[in-house]
Amino acid sequence: MSTLETDRKVNRSQMKVSDKVAIEIRKMNKWYGQFHVLRDIDLTVYEGERIVIAGPSGSGKSTLIRCINRLEEHQSGQIIVDGIELSSDLKNIDKVRSEVGMVFQHFNLFPHLTILENCTLAPIWVRKIPRKQAEETAMHFLEKVKIPEQAHKYPGQLSGGQQQRVAIARSLCMMPRIMLFDEPTSALDPEMIKEVLDTMIELAEEGMTMLVVTHEMGFAQQVANRVIFMDAGQIVEQNEPTEFFNNPKSERTKLFLSQIL
Ligand X SMILES: Nc1ncnc2c1ncn2[C@@H]1O[C@H](COP(=O)(O)OP(=O)(O)O)[C@@H](O)[C@H]1O
Q: Which residues bind to other proteins, rule: CB under 8 A? A: 69, 71, 90, 94-95, 97-98, 100-102, 104, 106, 108-112, 121-122, 125-126, 154-157, 170-171, 174
Q: Which stretch binds ligand X (CB under 6 A): 19-27, 61-69, 127-135, 244-252?
A: 61-69
Q: Which amino acid is it at 123?
A: P
Q: How many whole angstroms separate alpha carbon 165 and alpha carbon 169?
A: 6
Closest contact distance (angstroms) between CB of 8 and other proteins is 28
**125 contact choice in other proteins, Mg ion, ligand X, none (CB below 5 to 8 Å, kind-dependent):** other proteins
* Residue 62 found at the interface with Mg ion (CB under 5 A): yes
Closest contact distance (angstroms) between CB of 209 and other proteins is 16
* C-beta of 58 vs 130, nearer to ligand X: 58
Euclidean distance between the first and the last CA atom of the chain, given in angstroms as a whole number: 6
* Residue 173 found at the interface with ligand X (CB under 6 A): no
User: What residue is closest to Mg ion based on CB?
Assistant: 62
* Pattern 18-57, ligand X, x by CB under 6 A: --------------x--x-x-----------------x-x
| HEC string for the chain | CCCCCCCCCCCCCCCCCCCCEEEEEEEEEEEECCEEEEEEEEEEEECCCEEEEECCCCCCHHHHHHHHCCCCCCCEEEEEECCEECCCCHHHHHHHHHHEEEECCCCCCCCCCCHHHHHHHHHHHCCCCCHHHHHHHHHHHHHHCCCHHHCCCCHHHCCHHHHHHHHHHHHHCCCCCEEEEECCCCCCCHHHHHHHHHHHHHHHHCCCEEEEECCCHHHHHHHCCEEEEEECCEEEEEECHHHHHHCCCCHHHHHHHHHHC
Are 219 and 212 in contact by the 8 Å Cβ rule? The answer is: yes
* Residue 120 found at the interface with ligand X (CB under 6 A): no
Closest contact distance (angstroms) between CB of 177 and ligand X is 24
Residue in 48, 51, 54, 63 binding ligand X, rule: CB under 6 A: 63
Indicate if the alpha-carbon torsion angle 233, 235, 218, 202 is positive or negative: positive
Closest contact distance (angstroms) between CB of 173 and other proteins is 9
* C-beta of 55 vs 176, nearer to ligand X: 55
* Residue 185 found at the interface with Mg ion (CB under 5 A): no
* Residue 164 found at the interface with Mg ion (CB under 5 A): no
Closest contact distance (angstroms) between CB of 55 and ligand X is 6
* Residue 60 found at the interface with ligand X (CB under 6 A): yes
Q: Which residues of the shown chain bind ligand X in the complex (CB under 6 A)?
A: 32, 35, 37, 55, 57-63
Q: Which residues of the shown chain bind Mg ion in the complex (CB under 5 A)?
A: 62
